[in-house]
Amino acid sequence: MNALFIIAGLMAVAGVLGVILAKPPVYQVMSTVFAFLGLAALYLSLQSEFLAVIQLIVYGGAIMILFLFVITLLTARRDPVEKDAGQLTRPKLIGYAVGGALLVMLAIVGLFGGEGRIGWTQVPADFGQVKAFGYELLTTNVFPFEILAFILMVAVIGVMLLVGRHRA
């Protein structure tokens, strides 16, 4: 593995941990952007420049702006201080225990399993190229793409309706 791949993977993991551990939603969104930067760097390490740029433009830009818009609308009139802030409640304790167990399992598999037992597959020669990506997106995966666009539109309309009801 090259150094870029390892650093990019650590960036992505650090961003995801920031999403989980940060309290304010805006910090969670910024951590998500950091994780997306790590994923874009992972794509670059796999010689997939197009996917890296699309990752930054679509997810790092458009989707994150949508998330910030939704967060701003939903938290406009809510009390910013949580009632159980700083307390270790039972659901939090269970979540930390499950997350820690999963992290330990991943570390064990990463250190002692993996490469020797499972054969690595080669990345296809046209992986990440614009022509192959466009062909797959607009032929094989056009229905999931349209469903995703519809779900995002419904989410935005739902937030607008929720905010409209709270203001009325």
Summarize pLDDT for 94-122 with one digit per residue, the tens. Answer: 888 888 888 888 777 777 765 555 556 77
pLDDT tens sequence across 23-71: 888 888 888 889 999 999 998 888 888 888 888 888 888 888 888 877 7
What confidence category does residue 76 fall into, taking pLDDT thresholds of 50, 70 and 90? low
Average pLDDT, the chain: 80
CA 96-99-100 angle, 5° bins? 80
In the chain, domain spans: 1-78, 129-167
Q: Please tell us whether the domain made up of 1-78 is placed in CATH 1.10.10.10.
A: no
